[in-house]
């Protein structure tokens, strides 16, 4: 086992169980950093890349999530991803979560001119999607999430686009 794995396992084994009297704060703000990839695919354009960014999350009553983040992406040029989301998480030290997010991609992209789209589609690539984070953990004031998967849809009239998201690692700290 690597030292990092041993450290994580020992932290999980020694973390105290929450007591029933412990009431989560009404609002718990956290700053987080994430790394991963986002890709928007449609018949008219391809947009996205790999990279990372920072965000702000509000956990309401220990269960409800409100978040916003901005991510710099590269690979298909330079792009900016902005996400706004709301969701729910399990309470405790293992906190899997699911949320709905609106994602906007701005910047460089690949445009495809077709009979349905004789001109490039104007504006950012927008998608509404669902993200699942099965491997999220809260260790005191720190939060760690591994391998979040997201999928969504967007419109490039006429036609639909598909939005895919993959977060490899997200690390946050409560303020």
* Domain assignments of the chain as residue spans, ordered by start: 25-174
What is the distance between the alpha carbons of residues 16 and 12, in angstroms, rounded to a whole number? 9
Per residue in 9-33, pLDDT tens?
Answer: 454 445 455 555 567 778 899 999 9
Tell me the mean pLDDT in the region 27-42: 96
Torsion of CA 11, 175, 36, 14, to 10 degrees: 10
Residue 114 has a pLDDT of 86
Is the C-alpha dihedral spanning 173, 31, 40, 45 positive or negative?
A: negative
25-174 is classed CATH 3.30.360.10: no
Per residue in 104-114, pLDDT tens?
Answer: 999 999 999 98
Residue 115, exposed/middle/buried by CB under 10 A (0-12, 13-18, 19+)?
Answer: exposed
CB 63 within 8 A of CB 88: yes
pTM: 0.83
Residue 45 has a pLDDT of 93
Strands (E) located in the chain: 27-41, 45-60, 64-75, 78-89, 97-107, 110-111, 125-133, 135-139, 142-155, 160-174
3-state secondary structure of 148: strand
How would you classify residue 134: left for phi > 0, otherwise alpha for psi between -120 and 50, otherwise beta?
alpha
Residue 121 has a pLDDT of 87
pLDDT confidence of 4, banded at 50, 70, 90? low
Q: Give Cα separations from 129 to 80, 144, 163 (angstroms).
A: 17, 22, 7
What is the distance between the alpha carbons of residues 154 and 156, in angstroms, rounded to a whole number? 7
């Amino acid at each position: 086992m690597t030292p990092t794995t041993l450290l994580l396992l020992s932290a999980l084994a020694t973390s105290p169980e929450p007591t029933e009297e412990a009431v989560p704060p009404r609002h718990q703000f956290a700053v987080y950093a994430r790394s991963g990839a986002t890709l928007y695919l449609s018949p008219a354009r391809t947009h996205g890349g790999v990279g990372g960014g920072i965000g702000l999350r509000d956990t309401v009553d220990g269960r409800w999530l409100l978040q916003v983040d901005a991510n710099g992406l590269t690979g298909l040029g330079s792009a900016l991803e902005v996400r706004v989301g709301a969701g729910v998480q399990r309470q405790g030290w293992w906190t899997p979560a699911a949320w709905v997010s609106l994602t906007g991609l701005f910047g460089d992209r690949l445009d495809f001119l077709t009979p349905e789209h004789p001109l490039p589609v104007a504006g950012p690539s927008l998608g509404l999607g669902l993200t699942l984070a099965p491997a999220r953990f809260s260790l005191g004031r720190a939060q760690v999430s591994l391998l979040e998967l997201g999928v969504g849809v967007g419109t490039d009239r006429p036609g639909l686009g598909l939005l895919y998201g993959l977060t490899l690692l997200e690390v946050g700290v409560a303020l």
